[in-house]
């Protein structure tokens, strides 16, 4: 219990806070994380689909993956963890760095330009203090070399051919008799994900070129403006605390922010269903570890301030 009180004491006295958020925060909203058991889509490892090569090899497959994730995210609601973070951001000088592309944090009402923002120097802030450093499922951009079309779309399905991506049907399922006859595969075999040709995929309204999801894939650089503003926030003045929420900390450069804040003398509070026992037991200096569902933990732990 005293670890909780110790954390809450520090939280109350903290002026500048960074939150680093990962897929675990959206787990309670029903969205699968990347690693661990749910990190699969139709028996594909999600990591293998979030790459430029996967898109070049089979844009139809990758678009079906993202169409499914867009659909799931559109159906999902921000949970009490997202809401608690939004309240904290309104009460402190704080930025949120989210690796999630589901848009849930920005859908929390408090993020409207709430007049109860306590800090008055938010000119260095992204309008809501939330940085989607891996982009968003609702952004699309053109792949034609000479075209720089970027757009936003909440439409589902984006094209008729992308209908039928709503349910996470595993590839392996018992085939009906006429499916066996027509598809020629044996019972219980993999049902191939629909083969779509480029003409059936989202096209650019400006040049008819093939559109791609506006997310940052592995091997791609992150949005420079966001990175600069985050650097500015961390380097310009001291940071008292970084909240590390629902992230495995595997992905660079997102994972580098924890050490950057620690280096500046900030303390760390981890909220995760899977934390090393030593950290939970307080054996790591200036690091708190609270084990459990972020959606439940955050409202409780942030209560004295929000």
Binding residues for ligand BV8, rule: CB under 6 A, are: 22-24, 27-28, 33-36, 39, 50, 99-101, 134, 215-221, 246-248, 250-252, 271-274, 293-294
For residues 149-168, which are near Zn ion according to CB under 5 A?
149
Of 135, 129, 134, 136, nearest to 232 by C-alpha is 129
**269, 7 Cβ separation under 8 angstroms:** yes
Question: What single-letter DSSP state applies at residue 172?
Answer: B
Least separation in angstroms between residue 74's CB and Zn ion is 24
State the chain's maximal CA–CA distance in angstroms: 69
**β 93-98/16-21 pair status:** parallel
Q: Which does 206 bind (CB under 5 to 8 A by kind): Zn ion, ligand BV8, none?
A: Zn ion
Q: Which one from 82, 124, 134, 156 is the annotated catalytic residue?
A: 134
DSSP-assigned beta bridge partners for residue 267? 241
Taking CB under 5 A as the rule, does residue 227 contact Zn ion?
no
Catalytic-residue membership of 10: no
Cα angle 92-95-101, degrees, rounded to a multiple of 5: 135
**Which candidate, 72, 68, 77, places its Cα nearest to that of 31?**
72
Tell me how far apart the alpha carbons of residues 106 and 191 are, in angstroms, rounded to a whole number.
36
Stretch that binds Zn ion, among 33-41, 45-53, 204-212, 224-232 (CB under 5 A): 204-212
Which of Zn ion, ligand BV8, none sits in contact with 38, Cβ below 5 to 8 A by type? none
Q: Which residue is nearest to ligand BV8 (CB)?
A: 24
As measured in angstroms, the least distance from the Cβ of 4 to ligand BV8 is 17
Q: Which one of Zn ion, ligand BV8, none is in contact with 204 (Cβ closer than 5 to 8 A by kind)?
A: Zn ion
Q: Any long-range contacts for 173-180 (C-beta under 8 Å, 24+ apart)?
A: none
Query: Known catalytic residues?
Result: 134
Binding residues (CB under 5 A) for Zn ion: these are 142, 144, 147, 149, 204, 206-207, 209
């Amino acid at each position: 219990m005293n670890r909780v009180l110790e954390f809450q004491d520090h939280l109350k006295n903290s002026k500048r806070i960074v939150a680093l958020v990962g897929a675990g925060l959206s787990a309670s909203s029903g969205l699968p994380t990347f690693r661990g058991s749910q990190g699969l889509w139709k028996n594909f490892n999600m990591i293998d689909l979030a790459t430029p090569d996967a898109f070049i090899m089979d844009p139809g497959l990758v678009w079906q993956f993202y169409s499914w994730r867009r659909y799931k995210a559109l159906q999902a609601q921000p949970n009490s963890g997202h809401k608690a973070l939004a309240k904290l951001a309104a009460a402190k000088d704080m930025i949120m760095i989210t690796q999630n592309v589901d848009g849930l944090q920005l859908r929390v009402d408090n993020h409207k330009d709430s007049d109860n923002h306590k800090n008055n120097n938010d000119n260095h802030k992204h309008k809501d203090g939330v940085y989607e450093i891996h982009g968003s499922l609702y952004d699309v951009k053109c792949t034609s070399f000479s075209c720089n079309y970027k757009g936003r779309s909440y439409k589902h399905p984006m094209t008729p051919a992308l209908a039928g991506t709503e349910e996470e049907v595993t590839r392996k399922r018992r085939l009906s008799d006429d499916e066996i006859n027509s598809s020629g595969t044996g019972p219980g075999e993999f049902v191939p994900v629909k083969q779509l040709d480029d003409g059936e995929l989202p096209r650019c309204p400006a040049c008819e070129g093939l559109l791609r999801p506006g997310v940052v894939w592995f091997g791609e650089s992150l949005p420079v403006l966001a990175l600069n503003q985050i650097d500015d926030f961390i380097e310009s003045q001291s940071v008292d605390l970084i909240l590390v929420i629902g992230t495995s900390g595997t992905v660079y450069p997102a994972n580098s922010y924890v050490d950057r804040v620690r280096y500046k003398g900030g303390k760390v509070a981890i909220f995760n269903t899977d934390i090393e026992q030593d950290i939970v037991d307080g054996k790591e200096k200036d690091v708190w570890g609270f084990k459990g569902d972020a959606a439940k933990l955050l409202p409780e732990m942030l209560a004295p301030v929000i």
